């Protein structure tokens, strides 16, 4: 059963030529590159990869730097318009190792959403500064305390969703557009009562390119958590989420 990897890009040319073949080598996966008019030519390279991939690579070109959240929403809608059963979020910079993809597929047999976690047994980070570790762990703790979200790594961007999950969510109502997008997606899945599983991943610092993390993104996530706490646009399931 074919799965789709949604791969947002902005100035990832140095990584894209390696990450796409690595993903395709893991099994029956297709790749959708969602490029935000990267000035370094990432979009053009994506088109070249698509032309030689026998239909396994597609590209969405967007008019400008529109943000991570809207890139994933565009990818989700693309997947739902086709026959993909499993849809992945994944970074293009090798911080998310394609070798983990089969692990996600194994886990989602008994779940609806699978999150790649740095903070469960077997997971971790590599080459991170103390400050970055502090911000990441602090963001997770803050999110769990405010929302009561029982997820060890709520800001992780390495995920797999069943098609039915994305079809059940009101994608047009999702407004978070930075790393808070990950928190909002987790919260909405949790409120809907979907089964959530976590698998361990090791997250190294990127080898090529520049990180998109900024102080503004951190502040946005802190504000969005409280907004979600009092938001009622995605009704809660009576059963609540099941952690598996």
Q: How far is CA 62 from CA 17, 33, 48, 67, in A?
A: 20, 11, 17, 10
Task: Count structural domains, the chain.
Answer: 1
How much helix, strand and coil, in percent to the nearest 5, is found in the chain?
A: 40, 20, 40
Q: What pLDDT was estimated at residue 133?
A: 81
d(CA 74, CA 67): 11
pLDDT (tens place) for every residue of the chain, 244 residues total? 799 999 999 999 999 999 999 999 999 999 999 999 999 999 999 999 999 999 999 999 999 999 999 999 999 999 999 999 999 999 999 999 999 999 999 999 999 999 999 999 999 988 778 888 887 877 888 888 888 899 999 999 999 999 999 999 999 999 888 778 999 999 999 999 999 999 999 999 755 545 545 455 556 667 677 678 777 555 544 444 445 5
d(CA 71, CA 163): 17
Q: What pLDDT was estimated at residue 232?
A: 57
Nearest CA to 153 out of 205, 104, 117 is that of: 117
Partners of residue 242 on adjacent β-strands: 195
In eight-state DSSP terms, residue 155 is T
Say how many residues make up the chain.
244
- Is the distance from CB of 21 to CB of 15 less than 8 angstroms? no
Q: What pLDDT was estimated at residue 220?
A: 62
CATH number assigned to the domain comprising residue 168: 3.90.550.10
In eight-state DSSP terms, residue 110 is G
d(CA 139, CA 155): 8
d(CA 234, CA 216): 26
Domain that holds residue 137: 3-243
Q: What pLDDT was estimated at residue 239?
A: 44
The C-alpha angle 114, 120, 123, rounded to 5 degrees, equals 90
Q: What pLDDT was estimated at residue 235?
A: 53
Q: What pLDDT was estimated at residue 244?
A: 56
d(CA 47, CA 62): 13
């Amino acid at each position: 059963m074919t799965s789709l990897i949604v791969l947002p890009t902005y100035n990832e040319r140095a990584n894209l030529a390696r990450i796409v073949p690595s993903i395709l080598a893991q099994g029956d996966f297709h790749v959708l590159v969602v490029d935000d008019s990267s000035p370094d030519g990432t979009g053009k390279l994506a088109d070249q990869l698509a032309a030689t991939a026998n239909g396994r690579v597609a590209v969405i070109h967007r008019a400008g730097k529109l943000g991570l959240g809207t890139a994933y929403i565009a990818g989700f809608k693309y997947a739902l318009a086709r026959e993909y059963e499993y849809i992945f979020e994944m970074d293009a910079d090798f911080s998310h190792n394609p070798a983990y993809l089969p692990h996600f597929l194994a886990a989602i047999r008994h779940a609806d959403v699978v999150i790649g976690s740095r903070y469960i047994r077997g997971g971790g980070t590599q080459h991170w500064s103390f400050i970055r570790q502090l911000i990441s762990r602090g963001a997770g703790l803050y999110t769990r305390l405010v929302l009561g979200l029982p997820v060890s790594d709520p800001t992780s961007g390495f995920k797999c969703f069943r098609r039915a999950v994305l079809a059940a969510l009101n994608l047009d109502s999702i407004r978070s557009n930075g790393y808070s997008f990950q928190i909002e997606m987790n919260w909405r899945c949790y409120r809907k009562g979907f089964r959530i599983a976590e698998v361990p991943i090791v997250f190294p610092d990127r080898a090529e390119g520049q990180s998109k993390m900024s102080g503004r993104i951190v502040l946005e996530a802190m504000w969005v958590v409280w907004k979600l706490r009092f938001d009622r646009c995605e009704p809660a399931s009576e059963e609540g989420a099941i952690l598996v």
